[in-house]
Structure 1
Amino acid sequence: MGLLEVLEDRYAEALEALKSLPIRWDRERFAFWLRQDYPFVEALYRYQAGLLLEAPQAHRAPLVQALMATVEELDWLLAQGADPGAQVHPVRREYIGLLEEMGGLAYPYRLVFFYFLNRLFLEAWNAHVEGEGPWQELAQHWSAPEFQALLFDLEVMARGALEGLDQEVVAHYLRRILEMERKTWSLLL
């Protein structure tokens, strides 16, 4: 059973609630959401750099690819008008705080949570994004075969790391990640 299936089994209701949020897509709201994404993605970059520092050799290439994708996303967000010095929305500050807290955990936990937050975001994105709009470029990026292959690699690595972890710790942080994803997507309500 894959990690996503484990997540769906344990947290099916929360995942479905995330996917069924009544998102209202319009250019202004999406532009705000993107601007608020920059500080989170910057924090994610730091989280990933910490992962890479402790990664075993076999994990380094996929983590470097993920880090490069994050650098490209930061560049893209800047090109869309994100201001690194802008005020950060409380929801984004809270999610950044969660990333920083998780950054203090052992490498296997951080790897599993990195996979989950990427996968949860993608699940929500695929459930919500439709039609034409400024989000199409991101939709194409996240549905590209290269990104899908990277997610597969992350899942394989995370599946191997999940075996020996304290399931209560995993469950605690998965609930918090799900809650933060719900709050983040709620910025588009």
Structure 2
Amino acid sequence: MGLLQQTEARYRQALEALKALPIRWDRERFAFWLKQDYPFVEALYRYQVALLAEAPQAHRFPLVQALLATVEELDWLLAQGADPKAPVHPVRREYVGLLEEMAGLGYPYRLVLFYFLNRLFLEAWNAHVEGDGPWRELSEHWAAPEFQAVLFDLEVLAQGVAEGLDQEVLARYLERILEMEEKTWSLLL
């Protein structure tokens, strides 16, 4: 079993708990959640730009594709009424702080954690989002074959750099990512 699989297995229970949160979907709550997503996605964009700047040539194309998806998401959030100058909820501020802290890690750690950020969010999203609503367009974006290909490529890149990394460092940050995902999704409770 590779390092990524060991790390995933270690936190499977926490992910299942995240996926089991009793989310209450309504338009007003979802609109607030989306608007509060903007500062996080903007921070994720900066994280990705720094990651891309250090990427070896073989990693650049998949990372550019991931960056493009993030830029598209930022544009979509603005179209939904997100205001870059609006006050940021403490939960979102804390998650942005975690991204900024992770930006100080070496490239292989940042790449693996970027993969997990995407994977964990999408697993939670797929567990919570169903039916029609204002979230449908986002669901279609993340379920599109192009984005699924980006996620697959990120997984391949992460597997390629994961061996030799300190599992405890990865585990510590993965635990914090899961904690922040739970706090973020809890804004919809």
TM-score of the pair, normalised by structure 2? 0.97
What residue number does 1:115 align with? 115
What secondary structure, in the 3-state scheme, does the structure 1 residue paired with 2:86 have? coil
What residue number does 1:79 align with? 79
Q: Is the alpha carbon distance of 1:2 and 1:148 closer, same or farther for their aligned partners in structure 2, counting shifts above 3 Å?
A: farther
Query: In the aligned structure 1, how far is the partner of 2:122 from the partner of 2:178?
Result: 12
* 1:124, distance to aligned residue in structure 2 (A): 0.1
Query: In the aligned structure 1, how far is the partner of 2:89 from the partner of 2:120?
Result: 21
Query: In the aligned structure 1, how far is the partner of 2:58 from the partner of 2:118?
Result: 20
Query: In the aligned structure 2, how far is the partner of 1:107 from the partner of 1:17?
Result: 30
Give the letter for the 1:113 counterpart.
L
What residue number does 1:179 align with? 179
Query: In the aligned structure 2, how far is the partner of 1:128 from the partner of 1:173?
Result: 24
Give the letter for the 1:177 counterpart.
I
Give the letter for the 1:6 counterpart.
Q
* 1:3, distance to aligned residue in structure 2 (A): 7.0
Query: In the aligned structure 1, how far is the partner of 2:64 from the partner of 2:131?
Result: 32
Q: Is the alpha carbon distance of 1:2 and 1:153 closer, same or farther for their aligned partners in structure 2, counting shifts above 3 Å?
A: farther
Query: In the aligned structure 2, how far is the partner of 1:138 from the partner of 1:7?
Result: 28
What secondary structure, in the 3-state scheme, does the structure 2 residue paired with 1:165 have? coil
What residue number does 1:15 align with? 15
Query: In the aligned structure 1, how far is the partner of 2:119 from the partner of 2:3?
Result: 10
Give the letter for the 1:106 counterpart.
G
What residue number does 2:149 align with? 149
Tell me if the contact between 2:4 and 2:159 (Cα under 8 Å) persists in the aligned partners: no
User: Structure 2 unaligned runs (5+)?
Assistant: none
What residue number does 2:99 align with? 99
* 1:7, distance to aligned residue in structure 2 (A): 4.1
Pair 1:188 & 2:188 matched: yes
* 1:13, distance to aligned residue in structure 2 (A): 1.4
Deviations 1:91-125 (A, max 9, x none): 00000000000000000000000000000000000
Q: Is the alpha carbon distance of 1:34 and 1:53 closer, same or farther for their aligned partners in structure 2, counting shifts above 3 Å?
A: same
Give the letter for the 1:145 counterpart.
P
* 1:47, distance to aligned residue in structure 2 (A): 0.1
Pair 1:50 & 2:44 matched: no
User: Structure 1 unaligned runs (5+)?
Assistant: none
TM-score of the pair, normalised by structure 1? 0.97
* 1:164, distance to aligned residue in structure 2 (A): 1.3
Tell me if the contact between 2:4 and 2:162 (Cα under 8 Å) persists in the aligned partners: no
% identical aligned pairs: 83
Tell me if the contact between 1:8 and 1:15 (Cα under 8 Å) persists in the aligned partners: no
What residue number does 1:67 align with? 67
Tell me if the contact between 1:35 and 1:77 (Cα under 8 Å) persists in the aligned partners: yes
What residue number does 2:90 align with? 90
Query: In the aligned structure 2, how far is the partner of 1:7 from the partner of 1:18?
Result: 16
* 1:167, distance to aligned residue in structure 2 (A): 0.7
* 1:14, distance to aligned residue in structure 2 (A): 0.5
Query: In the aligned structure 1, how far is the partner of 2:5 from the partner of 2:139?
Result: 23
